[in-house]
Amino acid sequence: MELEPSHILEAKYYSLPFSSLVEKYPILNAFLISVDPPKFDLGNPKVLSMINKYLFKEVVDLDIRVPEDFLIPSLGIRHAYCDFIADRIKSNKPIIEIGTGSSAAIALILAKKYNKQVVATEINTSSIEMAISNIITNRLENKINIITSKGEIITNLISPGNYSALVSYPPFYDADLTKLEKKRGWKGKQSELFGGKKDGLAFAKQLLHESFQDTYIDIELVSLMMMNLEQIKELFAIIPSDMKTEIIQINAGTRRRFILLVYR
């Protein structure tokens, strides 16, 4: 199994430059720390949340809200992920999203832009309430069904049937509670950062295991967004030998994310 990415996607092509965003939404001028080129204090969660709000509205025509101290979804990475998956799947069967979060951003993009039916799961009660609110606000109740998890990932949670793809941007950090207490920078709840398990990688491993072991559910393409290739290398150990794998790299400024694809 190769660790070399087969495709490299640039998140900037799935988002909008700050210069264009400020021109379209002058209200953002008040939050600039530099005008030429326009720069924001992205360590301020309230500023970051406002920027993302207008990015989602302008680029994918979605109105998205996120509760304070919850994970703020980056548009470019998620949009690139959805675009690639929508292009790869060959059927109109529903898509499963494991862990939709309070924004339900991936489910909303898949439903709105790519006209997909999505079954999305979530464990955090507050996240579920906001995700449902976002779905209703965008009038996509007929496209997205939220399922409440009480700790289940796939087995005993997802209804038996055939699905075109599974997508997940799972928690992938070590279980470090100090990450929940940061005063600046990105925020997130325990379920969003490390899944309430030993660490986020344990969650991803269990997700992969269940996606192959549940004989009542047939998923054509399983995909996980991971932080680095070392994590994917660990996941390779539990992928059945008769499955094909592929890695797609997404560049977002200095950040890198990697989509692991698993299929027959």
- What pLDDT is recorded for position 195? 60
| Cβ 211 vs Cβ 219: under 8 Å | yes
The helix/strand/coil state of 210 is helix
7-12+69-263: what fold?
Answer: Rossmann fold (3.40.50)
pLDDT (tens digit per residue) in 25-43: 999 999 899 998 999 888 8
The helix/strand/coil state of 218 is strand
- What pLDDT is recorded for position 168? 96
Q: How far apart are CA 7 and CA 84, in angstroms?
A: 10
Q: How far apart are CA 59 and CA 90, in angstroms?
A: 25
Q: How far apart are CA 171 and CA 227, in angstroms?
A: 10
| Cβ 261 vs Cβ 88: under 8 Å | yes
- Output the CA–CA distances (angstroms, integers) from residue 184 to 48, 142, 177, in the order listed: 11, 37, 15
- What pLDDT is recorded for position 173? 58
* Rounded (5°) CA angle 195-199-201: 90
Question: For helices 45-60 and 75-88, what crossing angle results, to 10°?
Answer: 40
pLDDT (tens digit per residue) in 155-170: 999 999 999 999 999 8
- What pLDDT is recorded for position 248? 97
- What pLDDT is recorded for position 134? 97
| Type of residue numbered 197 | K
Phi, psi dihedrals of residue 118, rounded to the nearest 5° = -130, 130
pLDDT (tens digit per residue) in 79-129: 999 999 999 998 999 999 999 999 999 999 999 999 999 999 999 999 999
Task: Count Cβ atoms below 10 Å from residue 39 Cβ, excluding itself.
Answer: 11
| Cβ 244 vs Cβ 220: under 8 Å | no
pTM score, whole prediction = 0.91
Phi, psi dihedrals of residue 152, rounded to the nearest 5° = -70, 150
User: 202: pLDDT confidence band, cut at 50, 70 and 90?
Assistant: confident
pLDDT (tens digit per residue) in 165-201: 999 998 765 655 555 555 555 555 556 555 655 566 8
Query: Average pLDDT over the chain, rounded to whole?
Result: 89
Ramachandran area for residue 101 (φ above 0: left; ψ -120 to 50: alpha; else beta): left
Q: How far apart are CA 193 and CA 190, in angstroms?
A: 5
| Cβ 207 vs Cβ 226: under 8 Å | no
User: 70: pLDDT confidence band, cut at 50, 70 and 90?
Assistant: confident
- What pLDDT is recorded for position 45? 83
Q: How far apart are CA 74 and CA 115, in angstroms?
A: 21
To the nearest 10°, report the CA torsion of 7, 39, 100, 171.
Answer: 70
In the block, residue with structure tokens 């898949």: 110
Q: Percentage of the chain with pLDDT > 70?
A: 88
Q: Which two tokens stand for residue 37?
A: 């080129």
Q: How far apart are CA 92 and CA 263, in angstroms?
A: 17
User: 3: pLDDT confidence band, cut at 50, 70 and 90?
Assistant: confident
DSSP 48: H
> What does the radius of gyration of the chain's CA atoms come to, in whole angstroms?
18
